[in-house]
A and B are shown apart, each in its own frame.
Chain A
Amino acid sequence: MKTTAPPLARLMHATRDDVRHSPRLREASQPIEPVAATPAAGPVRLLHAAAAILGGSVLFDSAVEHYRGSFQNRAMFLPPISAMLNIGSSAHGIASRDTDAHPLRSLSYVASLAIGALGAGFHLYNVTKRVGGFGWQNLFYGAPLGAPAALALSGVVGLAADRIAANEKHTGEATLLGLPAGRTLAALTSLGLMGTVSEAGLMHFRGNFQNPAMYLPVTLPPVAAGVLAGAALRPTRRSRKAAKTWLGVTSVLGVAGVALHCYGVSRAMGGWRNWRQNVVDGPPIPAPPSFTGLALAGLAALTLIERASR
């Protein structure tokens, strides 16, 4: 047990054994009033923020793309609505003093997971039913397979936040799906990152990587995913620091991507004046923040891993 850290920090990172063996901690840990924050509160709130960012990306991206599709199928209204509900839930999750799972939040997250999965199926059907079937042309121009996954991820991340908080509150351990939360979350995040990389890679391949910056989302996030996975499997100080750095880079990439996509819109014929064509046809401005959302989830995973390794 480290004695140099201030008491509150020690309390946050303390284990049950610590409390049993330290009178000061025991005293400090006596509930004077109901404690709002559980030890995993920080990462849990971060996860809600991640879910919100993912939700925001999906809200605007699906709105524009389904507007382009003229909302031909009534179900196309579901993703933006679900994303909005997730954002609301996540805001609630961040603001609420009790980080335990909340039934309405969970409902929103589960719904978005379901709608995302349904959407992925729809999109796959769309790609395969177009003449030519499953091939480059329809992958380029049919409904994007990765986009519904982003909605599902928003739900997964939000659910993770709620489940980790609930598990910790009721069992004292931060777990997810019965496994240590940090590692499970890291695995989910890495997978999510690689999925987003594939989607961005496909679209940038369609754009012929005509601007060198288009290589960034297929080079940086994979490193982050790999380093995060490494830190989860072998959490040393170095690996955790590396993961933190690369996840930081990835979250910045998500913001830089927005600026770069705006630049892309300006390069099209008529630029921003022709926004009614170019915002819809051009590089999707709301898409890059998915990387930011996932990177934040990864950072939350790292914090949980750090905690667990003490």
Chain B
Amino acid sequence: MSSDRPVADPFARPRAAQGRAPDVFERGGWTSMREYRDDEAVDFVIVGTGAGGGTLATRLAEKGFSVVALDAGPYFRPLDDFASDETEQNKLYWTDNRIVEGNDWMIMGGKNSGKSVGGSTVHFAMVSLRFRPEWFKARTSLGYGVDWPIDWREMWGYYRQAELALSISGPVTYPWGPKRPRYPYRAHPVNAAGMILAKGAEAMGMSWTPTPLATVSAPHGKSPPCVYRGFCRFGCSTNAKQSALVVWIPRAVAAGAEIRDLAMVGRVETDAAGLATGVHYMREGTWRFQKARNVVVAGYAVETPRLLLMSASDKFPDGLANSSGLVGKNLMTQPNQAVFGDVEEEIRWSKAPPSTTITEHWNYDDRKDFHGGYCWMGQGPLPIEWASVQAGSRGLWGDALVQNMKNYNHCVGVKMVGEAMADENNRVTLADETDQYGLPITRIHYSWTDNDKALIAHGLDQMEHSMRAAGVRNTFRQEQDANHLGGTARMGDDPRASVVDADCRSWDIRNLWVCDGSVFPTVGGVNPSLTIQAVALRTADRIEALAQRGEL
């Protein structure tokens, strides 16, 4: 039936318009959406609808604030739009140009940058982990980085809220950290690839666990359980994945928020008094201006500093919220190196989410001569990604590549997610080139620190040891890879050493907020999405409290 009806191209024109937004749970369905006039100030205009912006938009709307959330990307309908194809699904990523430089270029795109309503959570691997509590006081308790201005016990409550909202499917008991409540849904079955990680971990005397994942293992609302197709990082076409598009955005719209897709924000406007007044955005070929009492920037750690820097004015010549000079600096990514190999049996690793098991051992074991921690998890690369590893990492091409690739069904590997250290030299700045909107593109400078290199070396050794112990043959290392972002608008309790305070409110402009991974002063040794959402939940509560006290 719906296969006969052509579905409108999500890139052609905005879908969230004329009083309605797509209902992602019904093919071709719509839900009514409240709209606000550009020339009437809303309480909050939010730039970006991902893990930070989407969550915040929802909670603020549910608390009664008027919210308009803009996203540069399209409003996808997973059931109608998502194909089972790596190349076609590049449409989920931010593929506008950025210039990368430094010793360890950051490969942008599917590893760290989404462009759609729901942001990077539309393509993320759903790994939903809590920080180790000590990381919130990294400087005081572990001797590196800086302390977060938030206590871990407070975050523990917000983690729980986020886990419940996302129906995280996880193990009945979790091996590390303080006791946490049972995950809302039970863990998924462990696939063959995940079993090998487990075997390797056990051989090294390490604990392992089924990965807590933001995709459901049993029906939840209108989400069917995961069908184990393995295209998670290319968009979930069944809506089992609990992305912001499927969890937060529908709630936000139901609570009266307006979502504007295909709306690229180019500038945050500020007035003579030094307060934000709204945002300039391009939609359907024209520049428009949305008035707002508060502006939240939630574009993740490259687009957020870009927007703040682009919005420089006479009063703020170095960009907004930048009296500390730190906007765009302390960019962190996370080492994502891997060890791969093959086994005699057929593994067919792309059946199921990429990581069905994980070990956080080296996040909690401090017998290391470097700072920070890392975890490692199973993998299930699809053909192009796997070929890119073979070609890029091992330099294989020609007959060697083609023959090697035929072993696809026997391959297995583990990948780390590590804690990179902050370094002011790692930064996002504006280039001279402009993009299709006429806006300056970003220049991303990145090099691993010495500590990062020590952590990576340790991780590769451990992972290799563990793979061999699990009986994996022909092991080789993927020596260079990274994922996730953070740090470029760090939070702190000192305006000279941070961009925003514990409430994600910028020191310089009291009605300008940042709500995404940019605020992380340290990046931790786990995937950041759950922490970003927890911070957003906290920020919403803080905003409500501040509003009630008249401090907004």
Contact = CB atoms under 8 A, between A and B. Distances in A.
A139 to B, nearest CB: 10
Contacts of A264: 219
A137 B171 CA distance: 7
A69 to B, nearest CB: 13
Q: Which of A132, A140, A205, A267 has the most CB of B within 10 A?
A: A132
A224 B406 CA distance: 58
Given A210-B219, A210-B220, A269-B238, A140 B198 contact: no
B186 interface: yes
Interface in B193-208: 195, 198-199, 202
A71 interface: no
Interface in B142-190: 171-173, 184-187, 189-190
A131 B209 CA distance: 11
Contacts of A267: 219, 224
B227 A277 contact: yes
Nearest to A274: B227
A269 B218 contact: no
Interface in A260-276: 264, 267-270, 274
B225 interface: yes
A136 B171 contact: yes
Contacts of B266: none
A125 to B, nearest CB: 17
B210 interface: yes
Contacts of B240: 269
A211 B219 contact: yes
A269 B187 contact: no
Given A130-B195, A136-B171, A269-B225, 12 more contacts: A132-B198, A141-B189, A207-B218, A208-B186, A208-B217, A210-B185, A210-B220, A211-B219, A267-B219, A268-B224, A270-B227, A274-B227
Contact of A131 (B171, B198, B219, B220): B198
Contacts of B210: 137
Contacts of A210: 185, 218-220
A137 B220 CA distance: 20
A264 B218 CA distance: 10
Contact of A269 (B186, B189, B220, B227): B227
A136 B210 CA distance: 11
A208 B199 contact: no
A206 interface: yes
A131 B195 contact: yes
A137 B224 contact: no
Contacts of A270: 227
A264 B225 CA distance: 11
B218 A208 contact: yes
Contact of A136 (B172, B202, B220, B225): B172
8 contacts: A132-B198, A137-B210, A140-B186, A205-B186, A208-B184, A210-B185, A210-B220, A268-B219
Interface of B: 171-173, 184-187, 189-190, 195, 198-199, 202, 210, 217-220, 224-225, 227, 238, 240
Contacts of B172: 136
Nearest to B169: A208
A205 B187 CA distance: 11
Given A136-B171, A136-B172, A137-B190, A208 B227 contact: no
Contacts of A141: 189-190
Contacts of A131: 190, 195, 198-199, 202
A206 B225 CA distance: 12
A207 B185 CA distance: 7
A286 B192 CA distance: 28
Contacts of A137: 171, 187, 190, 210
Nearest to A282: B225
A206 B218 contact: yes
B201 to A, nearest CB: 9
Nearest to B219: A267
Interface in A194-234: 205-208, 210-211
A68 to B, nearest CB: 12
A307 to B, nearest CB: 46
B221 to A, nearest CB: 9
A140 B173 CA distance: 14
Contacts of A274: 227
Contacts of B238: 269
Nearest to A135: B172
A210 B184 CA distance: 10
A49 to B, nearest CB: 34
B186 A206 contact: yes
Interface string A116-157: 000000000000001110001100110000000000000000
Nearest to A204: B218
A14 B210 CA distance: 63
Contact of B185 (A208, A211, A268, A277): A208
B202 A269 contact: no
A274 B238 CA distance: 13
B205 to A, nearest CB: 14
A208 B167 CA distance: 10
A274 B184 CA distance: 27
Nearest to A214: B218
A264 B240 CA distance: 15
Q: Which of A274, A277, A281 has the most CB of B within 10 A?
A: A281
A258 to B, nearest CB: 18
Interface in A270-296: 270, 274, 277, 281
Nearest to B218: A207
Nearest to A206: B186
Contacts of B225: 268-269
A140 B217 CA distance: 12
B247 to A, nearest CB: 16
A59 to B, nearest CB: 25
A210 B195 CA distance: 27
B195 A269 contact: no
B178 to A, nearest CB: 20
A77 B173 CA distance: 36
Contacts of A211: 219
A261 B133 CA distance: 42
A140 B186 CA distance: 9
A208 B5 CA distance: 37
A207 B188 CA distance: 10
Contacts of B199: 131
Nearest to A137: B210
A277 to B, nearest CB: 7
Contacts of B198: 131-132
A12 to B, nearest CB: 50
Contacts of B195: 130-131
